[in-house]
Amino acid sequence: MQAWLEQALSLLSASAAFRSLALAIPLAITVAALAGWRQRVEGAGQLALFGLFVCLWLAMPWTFAYLELQQASLALSLLCWFWLLLAWARHVLGDWPAPIWGHWLVGTLLWVLPVTGAIVLIRG
């Protein structure tokens, strides 16, 4: 089971389409939150700032010499990605904020990500 999981993670991390979608989700959340902030939606400003932080963190070309720092950077990246996703979900499900187009974009990307992952895994 562990060998299959390692192979699946290797395939997903090597796929440019899957990585691009995974990086587009924080960007779409940030854009939707910025649009909501401009329309004075409560809580959108904090979400936009955190989304901007996550986008900058993921875009920085961090190269650490020590394996432990590389693993810590990866863990922090994953934690921030999921935390941003949960903050967005709480924001949308709690208020159903405006503008709706930005949040539909994020929802569409969230729907396409597992489909793309499944296609990458099936194609091998």
Here the tokens at position 30 are: 């940030």
- Secondary structure class of 43 (helix, strand, coil): coil
pTM to 2 decimal places: 0.88
CA atoms within 13 A on the CB side of 55: 15
Is the alpha carbon torsion for 11, 57, 74, 45 positive or negative? negative
Q: Mind listing the pLDDT tens digit for each residue in 48-89?
A: 999 999 999 988 877 888 988 988 988 999 999 999 999 999
**CA distances from residue 98 to 34, 69, 89 in whole angstroms, order as listed:** 11, 39, 14
Q: What is the pLDDT of residues 29-46, one digit of tens each?
A: 999 999 989 888 888 899
CA dist 103 and 107 (Å) reads 6
